[in-house]
Structure 1
Amino acid sequence: MRNQPQPPFNFLLGHILSVAKVAQTIPFDVHPHILVSHIHRFYNLGPFFVFDTWPISRDKVLVIADPDLAVQVAQTRSLDKHPALTDSIRHIVGAQSLILTSGDEWKRMRNIFNPGFSSSHLMNVLAGVIVDEGIIFCGKLSRVTETGELVRLEEIATELTVDVIGRVVLDMEFHAQTAENELVSLFRESVRLTKTFSSLNPFTNLNPIRPIRAWWCAKKMDRYLEKVLVKRFASLEDDAPTRKKNRKHIIDLALEEHIKENNGEPVDIRAADDSFKRMAIDNIKTFIFAGHDTTSSTICYIFYLLSQHPDCMAEVRREHDEVFGVEVDMAAERIKQSPHLLNKLPYSTAVIKEVLRLYPAASTIRRGDANTPITVDGITYPTESFLVWIVNHTISRRADIYPNPDDFQPERFLSDDIPKDAWRPFEKGPRNCIGQELAMLEMRIIIVLAARKFDIVGAYDERGRLVGRGKAPDTVYGDRAYQMLIATAKPRDGMPVFVKRAK
């Protein structure tokens, strides 16, 4: 590590003093990628740097803070996912998750699910399903306007994303938005039981009850989803004469690909072989996790930032009036009739992209190997033995890539000035996010349905008085709604907001 860029190093304590010097300038509970971005800026580090994580762990980390280097390790060659990721989220998504598998197993599962997540299939067949769930979401917000209560927007948005996944993947109604739901409760409990890497206390993750509780939640989620799958497979078998004609949901298309793998041999859909059922359960959990990961958080930040930038909100509303007409309540029906109207929203799409730039929900951690070094200015550096971390947050906060990087400026995405590989909230290369088209479609639909109806205003002043955070640093880049690590990057305190009817 000695010949590589890094923060100041102490021969006895490693990088802990350098990291602590930066950590004391920001809130203690920030997401680790925020800490890394502050280290990068504070020490004026370049396109990559290394640091050790002792005494929190024994990993040596190679931080990728440059789009060209990200291409080298994720696109030109694609490093395998790091085992630390498995240790962190396997209890949530399962061992056969697309996130955690690699090699031939991953390729097989990706091929099985790809047809259901294609942009044309989602737009032409499933947009109306998302609209239906979005109407329920707006109904919940409408009721909040009547009570005037302070609510956590992240909870409401997560319930929305769970219901959307249930509908588009399984054609099942989880009713997470309208009633207590066992799956949502178990999922949230599993997320709370995830190991944390932001605490400087090495004993935080040593609670002996945590792994037992996580195992129990995983088993309960599996049993819940197995019942759902059996019910779905039974309905498919009952509708066998018309199944192929009407097949449209992601699990149906995945089953079709599975049948092709069996050379077209008949499959007992009611029973479904155990291997397919296990794989399906783990990846349904993965899709729910991804909705919790990216979509729900981004929906929160979209409305939070638009409320702070009324000129941007005005432009969003003007665009929606132009595309969908001034009768706000007709937007849902117009999307159902002509879903391709959603492709005529350049400014709204720019807003979503800018939110994902400022608040990326995730990064990717890879395992370095001897065959995949990185090259900077003609000099080659090894990745072997390193945890290679492509930190989207750090790339997105570089002023040489994004001028005024800490400012909300959606119009930057209306030009071609951004380097093609700099914006990567869904990662790039063969291991990119399979659900990115669904996420973007869902977010565009929700912004169309809700932006002209509601003013959603962050309520961190009120929340701060309730919890009493003392004199410690309370903002990141002047922002109270910073991201915390709760399995993934989530808005602080669940994004407390007040919801009012739009004027």
Structure 2
Amino acid sequence: MPHSPIPTPKGRRLSGHLAEFKQNPLDCMIRWHREFGDIVNFRIFSQNFYLLNHPDLVEQAITEQQDVFVKIYDPQKPKGLQLFMGQGLVTSTGPLWNQQRRLLQPVFQRRNILTLQPEMEKAGAQLIERWRQFEPGAEVEISKEMLHLALEVLTNTMFGTSVLDRVDEIAPALDVCLRYAAATVLNPLDPPLWVPTRRNREFKRALATLDAVIYGMIDERAANPGQYNDLLHLLLSSTDPETGAGMSRRQLRDEMATLFVAGHETSANVLTWTLYYLARYPKVMARLRAELRSVLNGGVPTADQIEQLPYTKAVLFEAMRLKPAVALIIRKVERDTSLQNYPLKAGSLAMVSIYNIHHHPALWENPEAFDPDRFLGQKVSKYMFLPFGIGPRFCIGNQFATVELTLLLAMLAQHFDFALCSDQEPEHDMAVTLRPKGGLKLSVRAIN
């Protein structure tokens, strides 16, 4: 059967689709999906891209041809997230990735995660106490507050320390690193890091800030081992079951840098968008609060009770469907291949649009509606709903995130009402993770 040509938007001769894509990558991908269908070919200068918008294409690429669709990985020429995550679990590949996955897998077992629940509860209680000092109906910058909350949970559970006194350093540094990483993937003509441009100097300063925090934690723990019940202790004591080797200091730094992004940036965005939808749909909030009242009676959920909150989880899942924390997965096409009847060229980059799949009108009934019921009483295909990725590189921290998000949402929803400060839906800001552009303010009122 002859190959079918892949639909391609009209672009410019030299730069291809750079101008249109750079203006707002996510909105551009949404529009291309609507206009051209489930697979779209585009180009930025000499770099060729394929946009994949359907679960069948994802299954063929990520699962059936995982040796062809590979992570972008060159430790000699780091790109994207490698520039500040190094060779952590998200960015590494091959034997190193296999070794790190084996080392980290026991750390994220459910029994270990449940021992960290008191620290999650403590961070939530501190935020609740602080919010109770606000005037009723105060306008609160929710996205900033959730970033601080998730960072406090992360550093207390993972690394046995609080960094709230340095959060105004860490949060902007992470933002700079994420935006820089995204730009290096999307524009192949960006100057290399050694060229002293303003953006390169800004990135190096941000990276130095993060390194100072992370190496400071590592060195402090090495000097004062003591008795700890956190993931840094488990990382320091972990050994490869096959070789008996532990992690080097640099590898430990890379894994901690990875956890900083994967462990707090994503959770903060999920909570931000969830609270936005609860403010927008009071009937959903009322039903959520009824479940919490029935199961928890005003308390904080125990490990067993977290499993008894199906509607609470459905609310979180629906928020993750509509606003996936990571809206895009990128893989390099290692050799010429095909998906369905479409030819794909070696050296191209395949972009799996989680956002477009989560909004696909052929997969979801009324896909733009916020409807948690779609996650109750029915199993959703793993290729239709991808908040934690897919395939062998499925997010290792998915259970940690689920426990954290369920616990914190249950706490916040029992203590506060949320109302919109604006009728205008927030614009998208995609810098690796999906945030509300310019932040998100909600009116917050204590209810008990």
Q: Same fold by TM (over 0.5)? A: yes
**What is the percent sequence identity of the aligned residues?**
20
1:424-463 equivalences in 2 (<5 Å): 424-460=386-422
1:422 counterpart (384, 391, 396): 384
Matched residue of 2:134: which SS? Answer: helix
Going from structure 1 to structure 2, the CA distance change for 1:77 and 1:293 (only over 3 Å counts) comes to farther
Q: Distance in 2 between matches of 1:96 and 1:204?
A: 22
In 1, the alpha carbon distance for the partners of 2:93 and 2:63 equals 15
Q: Which residue of 1 aligns with 2:258?
A: 286
Give 1:450 deviation, angstroms. Answer: 0.5
From 89, 92, 98, the counterpart of 1:107:
98
Query: In the aligned structure 1, how far is the partner of 2:207 from the partner of 2:121?
Result: 30
Question: CA 1:10 to 1:232, structure 2 compared with 1: closer, same or farther past 3 Å?
Answer: closer
Quick one: distance in 1 between partners of 2:182 and 2:358?
Answer: 26
Moved more, 345-354 or 252-261: 252-261
After TM superposition, the structure 1 = structure 2 runs for residues 145-160 of structure 1, keeping only pairs within 5 Å, are 145-146=135-136, 148-160=137-149
Q: Secondary structure at the match of 1:352?
A: helix
Kindly state the Cα deviation for residue 489 of structure 1 after the two structures are TM-superposed: 1.6
Deviations 1:26-85 (A, max 9, x none): xx964x233212211133x1x3221223xxx43211111111221222223322223599
Report the counterpart of residue 222 of structure 2 in structure 1: 233
- Counterpart residue number, 2:108: 117
* Partner residue in 1 for 2:46: 58
Structure 1 residues 126, 203: closer, same or farther in 2, change over 3 A?
closer
Deviation at 1:214, TM superposition (A): 1.3
Query: Which one-letter code corresponds to 2:201 in the other structure?
Result: I
- The answer to whether the 8 A contact 1:131-1:445 is kept is yes
2: CA distance between counterparts of 1:301 and 1:279? 33
Q: Does 1:33 align with 2:20?
A: no
In the other structure, the counterpart of 1:474 is none
2:79 is aligned to: 87
Return the alpha-carbon distance in structure 1 between the equivalents of residues 150 and 320 of structure 2.
Answer: 17
Judged with a 3 Å threshold, the aligned counterparts in structure 2 of structure 1 residues 38 and 142 are, in CA distance, closer, same or farther, namely farther
Q: How does 1:173-188 map to 2 (within 5 A)?
A: 173-175=162-164, 182-188=169-175
Contact kept, 8 Å, 1:153 with 1:494, in 2: the verdict is: yes
Residue 355 of structure 2 is aligned to residue 367 of structure 1: no
Structure 1: where are the runs of 5+ without partners?
240-246, 268-274, 462-478
Contact 2:295 2:305 in 1 (8 A): yes
Tell me what 1:295 maps to: 267
Backbone CA RMSD of aligned residues: 3.2
Which residue of structure 1 aligns with residue 287 of structure 2?
315
1:164-313 superposed matches below 5 A: 164-175=153-164, 182-191=169-178, 193-194=180-181, 196=183, 208-236=197-225, 238-239=226-227, 248-258=229-239, 263=244, 276-313=248-285
Q: Secondary structure at the residue paired with 2:307?
A: helix
Confirm or deny: 8 A CA contact 2:273 2:319 kept in the other structure: yes
Which amino acid is 1:63 matched to? L
| 1:406 match: secondary structure | coil
Assess if the C-alpha contact under 8 Å between 2:17 and 2:42 holds in 1.
no
Structure 1 CA distance, aligned partners of 2:174 and 2:10?
40
Q: Is the 8 A contact 1:358 1:393 kept in 2?
A: yes
| Between 184-193 and 284-293, the greater mean CA deviation after superposition | 184-193
- When structure 1 is superposed on structure 2, of 223-232 and 415-424 the one drifting more is 415-424
Specify every segment of 5 or more residues in structure 2 that has no aligned partner in the other structure, as ranges: none
**What SS class does the counterpart of residue 430 from structure 2 fall into?**
strand
